[in-house]
Amino acid sequence: MNIFSIIKKKQLGLEHNSKELNFLISSYVNNEIPDFQISAWLMATLLNGMTKKEMSLYTKEIINSGEKINFDYLNTEYIIDKHSTGGVGDKVSFILGPILASIGCYIPMIAGRGLGHTGGTIDKLESIPGYNTNLNIEKFKSIVENVGISIIGQTKEICPADKKLYLLRDLTGTIESIPLICGSILSKKIAEGIKTLILDVKFGNGAFMGTKKDAQKLGEILKSVGEKFNIEVYPFYTNMDQPLGNSCGLWCEIQESIECLKGQGPKDLMEIVTYLAINTLKNLKISDPQKKINQVIEDGSALNKFQDMVHSHSGEIDSLYDKKTNKPKFFKYIYAKQNGYIESMKTKDIGYSLIEIGAGRKNKLDILDNTAGILFYKKCNFNVKKGDKLAKIFCSNEIKLSKGYDLLKKSIILNNRI
């Protein structure tokens, strides 16, 4: 068996067997196959897809490339995780996770970095001074047990195959492949030892799935494959035709999440958080979900849970409330050039403008700028007057700021009819 024959088989649209996928994944993890050959296989998979049987086998091989966690000793069914398929300004995990943990759930979350135009959960968390996303399994389990929630990055121990493939997919234009998405998402979640997975499947011009129909197709496949590994999978579908919340970037999204946990977050963001939280609790047969959600926000329990997680990961709690933390050196405003309303936003381009200013990577060696981000004052369907501020873009590199600004101002589409 050799990698060339495996590539050719997928180029012909044929189904891989377990031995072939085992050879492919194990050889790549052991550095016996170069990136350029795996890239060829990734592209063939993007173009020709996989059967459901293949997806299950592929997911299994990624799981088996590392260790698996077991939380059975907690003696509870409330071991859950949430995953979003990616968007712009999507900070739901930082709000939903602490809320659910405050209500008695355990949230072991292994998250990723930025992928394509979408922001990365781990990149955002690492904008918190001191926050360590690279924990070993025992430390991770201890925080989940004692705090109720821990969010870490992919480790050498958990799904190392996905860690390598994740970066390569980003750099080879193979992100949108449903089989590759399925294997990447489910392998980490199954290896976490969860009982239930809540899926926030995004659709729209800022998502990998352009239409709700495409999103539903992905959700159904993830549910079908996930259930073969004995986890309950509940897909929900939310719109990404504009950024979620008012802030997009790194540190600014952490700040907005804190405001949400105080009960002062943007309406569109809190609507999705509440929607996912209520449905999660209903599926777990937990009574009075809305009342419980309101209570943990009003009494500060959810915010305290977030702070406890940050502290347990060696993050500096005081930095969360220090206005000098990650303060950008440069900023520019986008102004309305006419009276009218915001007809639409090119959300994917907004994501690319964030990459230009350093909130995302063009290649895997790029160093992120934690100060980088965008603040929106007006979003879709808002009436505006000529001269109104629409958005503020900021970072700590003036040249990068100009490039991001040029792209951002073309991403907000005004209509002059009121």
**How many residues would you count in the chain?**
418
Q: Is 48 exposed, middle or buried (0-12, 13-18, 19+ CB in 10 A)?
A: middle
- Write out the E strands in 65-111: 80-84, 107-111
- Chain centre to alpha carbon of residue 268: 18
393 vs 157, 289, 374, CA distance in Å?
A: 38, 37, 4
In sign, the C-alpha dihedral spanning 255, 261, 264, 267 is positive
Q: Is 62 exposed, middle or buried (0-12, 13-18, 19+ CB in 10 A)?
A: buried
Q: Give 236's strand partners.
A: 200
Which residues have a catalytic role annotated? Answer: 83, 162, 169, 184, 188
In sign, the C-alpha dihedral spanning 59, 46, 4, 155 is negative
337 vs 80, 343, 394, 410, CA distance in Å?
A: 47, 14, 20, 12
